[in-house]
Structure 1
Amino acid sequence: MNVNIDPRTVGAQVRMRMPLMTPLEARVVNTITGRKDLDLTTSIREVADDAGVSDAMVVKIAKKLGFNGYRDFRAALVSYRESDVASLHAEISPEDSSADIVKKVFNTAMQAIEETMSILDMAAFDRAADLLYAARNRDFYGLGGSAQIARDVSHKFLRIGLRSNIYDDTHMMMMSASLLGPDDVVVAVSHSGSTMAVIEAVTLARQNGARSIALTNYAGSPLAELADVTLCSTAQGSPLLGENAAARIAQLSIMDAVFVGVAQRDFALAETQLSKTMQSVDAKRKP
């Protein structure tokens, strides 16, 4: 493994490529990553026998995950497991006390933020901030929990005088996309990156010349492949919480950073607009 690789990125690298795996390949990955005794002496034969596949299949899967081969994959996993961030996540069990539950939930969120920060593409981040700052219209698409992330960042943009629209209905997204043009930007939020309603709307918006930004948990997802700019979160799920809970925290953090990046492009104006919007609601607060 390249010694310059940040160990925090390894778990994210594996998780983000899992949707690209066949069921057999995914089972093999889960078998390998589930081994508690994995170390630098674990042979490919041991791993292959444990997973019920050939040595060649293990090598193929390691390369599909972005590693040079089995040894590189093994070294990366060992390094990741020794990192502070890997130790944050722990599964919730029926025997957990309230203190255990709080600690585990908070630690999972912190892990998602740490790993997301380690994989965040800074060139994509800057491009997203540039597009949102210069846009005529900023339309946000998302369903369910993803729509709540869109609402949060739209609220922040309004505070500095940048207006945006949020669409969480399939028909409304398509109507919005049909009216967009080259000066407009779509921000599509989808944890899986495979929500058809969002993909169809972004496709139409792009056909009309609009630029698109994807916020998703999977770099290889259809939405990520479609968008002009992709911002990726990463989160390790649990049977009870799923991935979405921790990923939502990471995605909110990404968009908070994007908001600050947009504001920074005209900091003086942002401060002026922020003062205006804050004063407008001061009278609504109880003394």
Structure 2
Amino acid sequence: MKETTEATPEAVGTAGAARAAGAAGGERPVPAPAEAPAAARTVPAPGALAAKVRTLAPSMTRSMQRVAEAVAGDPAGSAALTVTGLAERTGTSEATVVRTARLLGYPGYRDLRLALAALAAEQAAGHAPAVTADIAVDDPLPAVVAKLAQEEAQCLADTAAALDTAQLEAAVAALAGARRIDVYGIGASHLVGQDLVQKLLRIGLIAHAPADPHLAVTNAVQLRAGDVAVAITHSGRTTDVIEPLRVAFEHGATTLAITGRPDGEITQYADHVLTTSSARESELRPAAMSSRTSQLLVVDCLFIGVAQQTYETAAPALSASYEALAHRHAPRPPR
């Protein structure tokens, strides 16, 4: 039997809307996840469809996953189906098909069908993305290198395809004008946060990445309007990252989340959400490896964007940092 009702799991930048609503009423309520208007989306290119499915599938309901897997697995066959036909093939409802299309970034099913037809043509021409294999325990090292390189490249391509440039531009603008920036992350995500902080420091911005979760919360208490808090968590549900972002959000700071789960709890406290992707997890390749790769790409995009917007002050600050460290990189005296 087909289903008739289903909740939409997407939550992208939901805290921003709540901030505006709360300002009118004198409060800042925590928002419920809600789907972004289709008109505000950037329709992904056909070749990005598979990347969108890989990135967003974990945040979908099971019935939406069936639709997404069907269109990604058989673009040509799915493009030939009406919305009713695809609903019947996947055992879902027409409403579920339309919601899945919108979650993938398309205004409606008609636009998704056009993208599927274009993707099928690309695949027929031999331009389909390569399918990578898992790393086996007995793989020779050259094979491991080749597989990792292919997975990393696919991970970067997926992240670029999934990244909402409107959200990215808003995040860059917030960072460029920030009085103070706090960055929260645990484990591998903390290392990514440190990378962002050292980059921002070198162009003259005040940034911190507290390693202790308690210190992160006490720092967040000091943030106000004009400050920015950045949370990095692939799962979107790391308590030690959610807590300081929540505190920063409640104290009026602009909040950003870099996460692989756009439906994660972290997005409830994020004004702007930057979605990352990751390669498939396997026994010898934990999610932290691929999530780090995609997070670093987002960090680099943020840094370059901020450096562009603050170039008049960033360039001299960067030069000064180079000069301050120059003596540590002096050439060795001749023998």
The TM-score normalised by the length of structure 1 is: 0.81
CA deviation map 1:32-57 (0-9, x unaligned) = 5896xx4634899xxxxxxxx98533
Q: Kindly state the Cα deviation for residue 224 of structure 1 after the two structures are TM-superposed.
A: 2.5
Q: Does 1:20 align with 2:59?
A: yes
Q: Kindly state the Cα deviation for residue 65 of structure 1 after the two structures are TM-superposed.
A: 3.2
Q: Residue 49 of structure 2 aligns with which residue?
A: 10
Q: Residue 242 of structure 1 aligns with which residue?
A: 286
Maintained 8 Å contact 2:257/2:266: yes
Maintained 8 Å contact 1:149/1:252: yes
Q: Residue 49 of structure 1 aligns with which residue?
A: none
What one-letter code is carried by the residue in structure 1 that aligns with 2:119? S
Match of 1:56 among 85, 91, 97: 91
Q: Residue 96 of structure 1 aligns with which residue?
A: 139
CA deviation map 1:181-228 (0-9, x unaligned) = 112100100011111221222111111111101111122222124311
More displaced stretch, 262-271 vs 81-90: 81-90
1:205–1:107: structure 2 CA closer, same or farther, 3 Å change rule? same
Maintained 8 Å contact 2:220/2:244: yes
More displaced stretch, 151-160 vs 6-15: 6-15
Q: Distance in 1 between matches of 2:69 and 2:308?
A: 46
The TM-score normalised by the length of structure 2 is: 0.70
Q: Does 1:153 align with 2:193?
A: no
Maintained 8 Å contact 1:190/1:215: yes
Q: Residue 130 of structure 2 aligns with which residue?
A: 87
Match of 2:310 among 266, 271, 276: 266
Q: Kindly state the Cα deviation for residue 25 of structure 1 after the two structures are TM-superposed.
A: 4.3
Q: Distance in 2 between matches of 1:76 and 1:226?
A: 34
Q: Which aligned segments of 4 or more residues in structure 1 are displaced greater than 6 angstroms?
A: none
Q: Kindly state the Cα deviation for residue 72 of structure 1 after the two structures are TM-superposed.
A: 5.2
Q: Kindly state the Cα deviation for residue 110 of structure 1 after the two structures are TM-superposed.
A: 0.8
What one-letter code is carried by the residue in structure 2 that aligns with 1:6? A
5+ residue gaps, structure 2: 1-42, 82-87, 103-107
Q: Kindly state the Cα deviation for residue 79 of structure 1 after the two structures are TM-superposed.
A: 2.8
Q: Distance in 2 between matches of 1:59 and 1:91?
A: 35
Identity score, percent: 26
What one-letter code is carried by the residue in structure 2 that aligns with 1:40? A
Q: Residue 181 of structure 1 aligns with which residue?
A: 224
What one-letter code is carried by the residue in structure 2 that aligns with 1:79? L
Q: Residue 190 of structure 1 aligns with which residue?
A: 233
What one-letter code is carried by the residue in structure 1 that aligns with 2:205? L
Q: Kindly state the Cα deviation for residue 128 of structure 1 after the two structures are TM-superposed.
A: 1.1
5+ residue gaps, structure 1: 45-52
Q: Distance in 2 between matches of 1:204 and 1:272?
A: 34
Maintained 8 Å contact 1:116/1:250: yes
Q: Residue 281 of structure 1 aligns with which residue?
A: 325
Maintained 8 Å contact 1:174/1:201: yes
SS in 2 for 1:65: helix
**Equivalences, count:** 274
1:117–1:41: structure 2 CA closer, same or farther, 3 Å change rule? closer
Q: Does 1:109 align with 2:135?
A: no
